[in-house]
Structure 1
């Protein structure tokens, strides 16, 4: 309820004003001065937050008003989602849907969309709260967003079946969409998709940290501080700055466009909400709707694409390991087991379909290989459109050429 309220631009200063008024009223009724003074101080702070919120609301409005949606806004049941569909597929070729990682706007994969739209129908969309889409209902859940995507495609007039491509947490949405609407999926391309196992058995509650960062971003933007979540994460972990450099290089001006579209608090609250579904102990309640288990996709063609380098942490780097332990609280005795589990569970999606095939991104690439080697991903998706069933010589296979 609180997330839903605060996701709307202008809500923060109203709530702050109500708090200030309530505290001032309380302070006026207190007879003991030693009690009234701190209450007056709190009322003053609430008034300052109200003023900051008014400034933030004005700034948000000025930024978003100058950043119109590049695609179509479609009503999906009392709120609107943004979809950008470009290009035309040859007769019999499936359109492609791109789903970005985290809870990012569709434009986070614009560089890949641009790489195929001249030859195939290519579709980007913003999940509620992200990009240009309105906030929608809370709490945000992957099961809900699979249904929202289905409604969006139907009402936008896009006809499947589709080749659905999902990266990271977007891959989790892609596989959930495929389980619920298998007739709408010609093939599934999972780019190092997040397995639900990692949420339960990951060894630390990483999604809770991302959820908290989403809250901080939302609050900052409510008072006019236009912080970027990637920059916040990089500031907490300097090594992340280098890791996210390929994202900034691949997206270029599109990254700035996303930040302008998400100038308000809705994206931060949506991020906080969606990642709470995998945080402890909430994941125990959401896991049944979230997981896609062995065999549930029948014989659907599934490309399980993993990075060239599976380990995101150099375990021989003492400084990196120490920083990881400080961030997660993981005992040194558990590190080797964590390394093994985190690698093994990357293969879990091979079990969801009898037609799943493992492919590897070029050597040396990490989790962000859709940005490090976009040409590889574009070639792979073209192949999935041309021949949905993964072949032995598929791009990224053991004997396949790999291009950057």
Structure 2
């Protein structure tokens, strides 16, 4: 979520170069994972990162991690994010708030505090718990509340939780869905945070839209870790199966399609997303945008060669990391466009090279034709966040 290329693609129309005193707030930064990652990426810039957390112990760990790496672009504050409006910190271009608001008694108060310090054209990267994928978690929480009703201290509560985990019948909903959750395998802190936390609020897709879009007029772009938007797209949740009802689903508004995908897949245990005051995704169809591969070892020329060698009709994209296998229309020009994508050339430059191919010189395709032809490939690769766009050259 905090990858600068992804932030640029989803939140700044591909036009952000992260210079000119770019300001970042990590709200509820804990021991520093997001803070260190962002600071490392911004090391060679004049950006400022503010790490905010209530825990002195967590801040101490985060500071030590920064010292080891020689990161000096971080300011440390031990304070509640609810106090943000009165701290006089100014406005921030990007705010990370991951795994925090769902632990507040009033998550909306936390959101309002964040929005109060967000620049007008700024963005928030947020993660909150998802309801359906955590069904077994909430049943376990209720079970342990009943068992631990007379507990004397957290030690006994943890001991009871460990006993329950060790003896769950296979029919238990948490046991059935345990492959979705790993926090309880990370020691007592993981067990406590997952199963014994006193404040734990989860959301469905529809609830997020009602809260963030309807009430606060914020634009939402989902981005699941490692899978991008795929878990929110019914056709990719069901791929390679394409039952006829998907035709009707495809005509629904994106909000409804995403809610359907969440229910179809059932694997979302968290929702990760970007929030902006209006849609600002880098636009496909702009010749000046530079396509580049992200989070993917395969290059454009390599993928072009795979398509060229394939005998599948239609071509079947098999993506091992996401586990998605789906038929794709690679078009007449798709493999030639991929051949010239190197992360430096704009679409205009890529298309010029395609038109220079011997077989297209007599009747060279225009930009509109090439964009239309490449759209199915782009939509898939972009949905799994392997092909993104920027207007800033490295």
Normalising by structure 2, what TM-score? Answer: 0.35
Q: Normalized per residue, which structure has more helix?
A: 1
Normalising by structure 1, what TM-score? Answer: 0.34
Q: Normalized per residue, which structure has more strand?
A: 2
